[in-house]
A and B are shown apart, each in its own frame.
Chain A
Amino acid sequence: MLIKISDFHSFLYNLNESNNIEVVIPSLANGTENRFFFNKLNSSNNFDLGFFRTIDPSKVLFYQPRESVFPVSTGTIKRIIAGIKSCDMKSIQLLDKALINNDFVDSAYKNLRDSTYIITTDCTEIHSSCHCTLLDGKPFTESGFDLNLSPVEDYYLITIESDKGRELFELIKKKYGLLDAHESAYLEISKQRNKIIEKLVIQNEKFLPRNNDVLRSKDLSIWNEESKECIGCGACTNICPTCYCLILNDESVEKEFIKVRSYDSCQLHGYAKVAGGASPRPKMYERFRNRYLCKFDYMKKNFGEPGCVGCGRCTEACAAKIDFREVIQNISMNTLTTKQSI
């Protein structure tokens, strides 16, 4: 079904004002033309559900930088998060595997997940760091969302994926006139999607597809070379939509026990250091390499898929301007050349 874009926007505003649901949308960052961050909807913020991924990962909305995990705060308000892009949707699906499984449930995460409706939207532009296509990703979602919106001229084509999505759709249907989508609308969407895929492919054509074995290579000198500029600040892991390493703090008073979890970063020196002083990765290049191995080897072993969704945020956030794609490229090329010369 098709809904007028302006109608959908008023749907969001109306819900937001009804006070029992909170709407979060990509909101324009001050002084920029196309950089958005997740923010609560209000009358003054300028939002757009198109473009490409936000500056901040959707992780921050479900797995907060700092929150109490024992006891967990109750009375979570219902939320709609609109404008989540395909890369972030993939990262949420990965976090679901990590944080809600048979062995373990992170209650704080689950509460926020359960109380949220996810509305994804197709990418209509790309950022210079975007590279989902190198990881079998697409600039539109295929699963995991509740509703997806694909723009066609002044309309959105609505795709329903879940019961929660159906619930929202019924709400929309009650208030707004919807049009049936004809084949021409599907064709137009498919054309737009292909155009974005093509842009991504061209932008990333010099990069090889990912090869985990190459990254696992024991030749460490090349990692030393690649990490020379790294200052070990941890921005890349904090902004990564799939990094969920945590530290626990005890904020208890007297006989109460309160556990607060915050993000940690494997790039920091003290990360894996034990009380006796031993550390498995005392050198910067070892910690630098760990992030790549975690994404492409360890997470793949644990969750059946790599921990990189190709959003490029680590590249964008890096103070030393290290491009994630180039590092993998250089490591792969070097290892391949070494192998050939032997």
Chain B
Amino acid sequence: MHNAYEVIPGTIYNIIQESPLIRTLQIRPEIPIEFQTGQFVELSLPGIGEGPFTPSSSHYTSEVMDITIMKTGFVTEYIHKTSIGDIVGIRGPYGSKYPLEKFHNKDILILGGGCGLAPLRSLFLTLLHDIDQYNSITFLAGAKSPKDCIYKELFSEWKKYKKVNIYRSVDIVPEGESWDEEICLVTKLLQKIKIDPKENPVIVCGPPVMMKFGTMDLLKYGYNENNIYLSMEKKMYCGFGQCRHCVIGGYYACKDGPVFTYAQIKNEEAIWE
């Protein structure tokens, strides 16, 4: 009988320090881990603990997995102390995926901020792989300040693709830092897009407050609540609806989510907390 708590050991073969608080671990698991973009895994450090993270690599690669992690609590503090060659454990994948089939022939909008760009990078790379199937991809990416921006080199790469539009913003530019793109909240970048909101999908991930106001703005802009896909962040201990910490009303963020449409959860309580 398969044990649901079993972990697959993996070796960290590279670490990219994206920003002072965010790093990407590049991991080679002992057994390839297949997942669908949007799903998450539980990453553990032996003797320390584990936490839920969404891979930031394309789901077309399973031999290696990139996971972008912000230093924000007990486990992530230790994750930020790992070195190349260290062993981590992975179990999963868990939860719902981005419904790519619904995005075919659409003008896709991606709205993300901070470390919320991690699952969106996975989505974006997966979309790029089959770019012929989609009309266009518009990526709005925000960060607090220029030094907090992640995937710096990747964005300039991605901008070269046809059918891809990328707009980036930072909230502030402190003295001594430079920035040649927009300075505003990422939700303000919506003013730049030229997508008909009626039938097209938008995928949102970021800090709760950004997701909340982002969703409100998208509704105002004319997006349909059934086409607004949110990657919800809750305390997902186990990953399969057992520990019950991530309950959103009658839903589990880990099992029924983490990808929800706004229509699914709009009537539940404290969804943005």
Question: A69 to B3, Cβ gap below 8 A?
Answer: yes
Q: Mark A235-276, 1 if CB is under 8 A from B, else 0.
A: 000000000111111111111110101001010000111111
Q: Please, which residues of chain A bring their CB within 8 A of the CB of B207?
A: 276
B154 near A: Cβ within 8 Å? no
Question: Which stretch in B96-104, B130-138, B221-229, B235-243 binds the other chain?
Answer: B235-243
Q: Please, which residues of chain A bring their CB within 8 A of the CB of B49?
A: 248-250
Most chain B beta-carbon contacts within 10 A, residue among A104, A278, A279, A280: A280
Question: B243 to A298, Cβ gap below 8 A?
Answer: no
Within 8 A of A (CB), among B72-113: 72-76, 87, 89
Roughly how many angstroms separate A248 CA and B50 CA in the complex, as a whole number?
A: 8
With A274-B233, A279-B273: A297-B250 Cβ-Cβ less than 8 Å: yes
Q: Please, which residues of chain A bring their CB within 8 A of the CB of B6?
A: 70
With A253-B46, A279-B273, A298-B247: A273-B235 Cβ-Cβ less than 8 Å: yes
Question: B237 to A246, Cβ gap below 8 A?
Answer: yes
- The prevalent SS among residues of B at the interface is loop
Q: Please, which residues of chain B bring their CB within 8 A of the CB of A99?
A: 242
With A246-B242, A255-B9: A272-B234 Cβ-Cβ less than 8 Å: yes
With A70-B7, A104-B240, A255-B9: A298-B250 Cβ-Cβ less than 8 Å: yes
Question: B242 to A244, Cβ gap below 8 A?
Answer: yes
A52: shortest Cβ distance to chain B, in Å?
A: 29
Roughly how many angstroms separate A106 CA and B238 CA in the complex, as a whole number?
A: 11
Roughly how many angstroms separate A279 CA and B269 CA in the complex, as a whole number?
A: 12
Most chain A beta-carbon contacts within 10 A, residue among B75, B234, B270: B270
A246 and chain B: residue at smallest CB distance: B243
A245 and chain B: residue at smallest CB distance: B244
A304 near B: Cβ within 8 Å? no
B5 near A: Cβ within 8 Å? yes
A237: shortest Cβ distance to chain B, in Å?
A: 10
B32 near A: Cβ within 8 Å? no
A103 near B: Cβ within 8 Å? yes
Kindly state the interface size class of chain A when it binds its partner: 35 or more
With A250-B48, A280-B273: A104-B75 Cβ-Cβ less than 8 Å: no
Roughly how many angstroms separate A110 CA and B4 CA in the complex, as a whole number?
A: 12
Which one of B44, B51, B237, B255 lies within 8 Å of A103 (CB-CB)? Answer: B255
A9 near B: Cβ within 8 Å? no
Roughly how many angstroms separate A294 CA and B46 CA in the complex, as a whole number?
A: 33
Within 8 A of A (CB), among B17-35: none
A338: shortest Cβ distance to chain B, in Å?
A: 19
Question: B46 to A259, Cβ gap below 8 A?
Answer: no
Q: Please, which residues of chain B bring their CB within 8 A of the CB of A249?
A: 49
Which one of B44, B242, B245 lies within 8 Å of A250 (CB-CB)? Answer: B44
B81: shortest Cβ distance to chain A, in Å?
A: 15
A65 near B: Cβ within 8 Å? no
A105 near B: Cβ within 8 Å? yes
B44: shortest Cβ distance to chain A, in Å?
A: 6
Question: A280 to B44, Cβ gap below 8 A?
Answer: no
Kindly state the interface size class of chain B when it binds its partner: 35 or more
B246 near A: Cβ within 8 Å? yes
With A254-B46, A255-B46, A255-B87: A298-B249 Cβ-Cβ less than 8 Å: yes
B200: shortest Cβ distance to chain A, in Å?
A: 30
With A246-B238, A246-B242, A247-B237: A259-B5 Cβ-Cβ less than 8 Å: yes
With A259-B5, A271-B245, A272-B245: A248-B238 Cβ-Cβ less than 8 Å: yes
Most chain A beta-carbon contacts within 10 A, residue among B1, B207, B235, B246: B235
Roughly how many angstroms separate A245 CA and B252 CA in the complex, as a whole number?
A: 13
Q: Please, which residues of chain B bring their CB within 8 A of the CB of A253?
A: 46-47
B51 and chain A: residue at smallest CB distance: A275
A112 near B: Cβ within 8 Å? no
Most chain A beta-carbon contacts within 10 A, residue among B46, B75, B208: B46
A161: shortest Cβ distance to chain B, in Å?
A: 25
Question: B243 to A280, Cβ gap below 8 A?
Answer: no
B233 and chain A: residue at smallest CB distance: A274
Q: Please, which residues of chain A bring their CB within 8 A of the CB of B76?
A: 275
Which one of B7, B74, B238, B241 lies within 8 Å of A257 (CB-CB)? Answer: B7
A29: shortest Cβ distance to chain B, in Å?
A: 31
Within 8 A of A (CB), among B33-72: 44-51, 72
A166 near B: Cβ within 8 Å? no
Question: A98 to B242, Cβ gap below 8 A?
Answer: yes
A152 near B: Cβ within 8 Å? no
Roughly how many angstroms separate A106 CA and B250 CA in the complex, as a whole number?
A: 21
Q: Please, which residues of chain B bring their CB within 8 A of the CB of A294?
A: 244, 247
A191 near B: Cβ within 8 Å? no
Q: Mark A91-127, 1 if CB is under 8 A from B, else 0.
A: 0000000110001111100100000000000000000
B248: shortest Cβ distance to chain A, in Å?
A: 8
Can you name 16 A-B pairs with beta carbons within 8 Å?
A72-B3, A99-B242, A103-B255, A105-B1, A107-B1, A110-B1, A252-B47, A274-B234, A276-B207, A276-B233, A280-B234, A280-B269, A280-B270, A294-B247, A297-B250, A298-B249
Nearest 7 interchain pairs by C-beta: A275-B73, A252-B46, A70-B5, A280-B270, A301-B250, A280-B273, A275-B72
B: which residues have CB within 8 A of A?
1-7, 9, 44-51, 72-76, 87, 89, 207-208, 233-235, 237-238, 240-250, 255, 269-270, 273
In the complex, besides A71-B3, A266-B244, A275-B73, 4 extra interface pairs with C-beta distance below 8 angstroms are: A107-B1, A110-B1, A257-B46, A264-B243
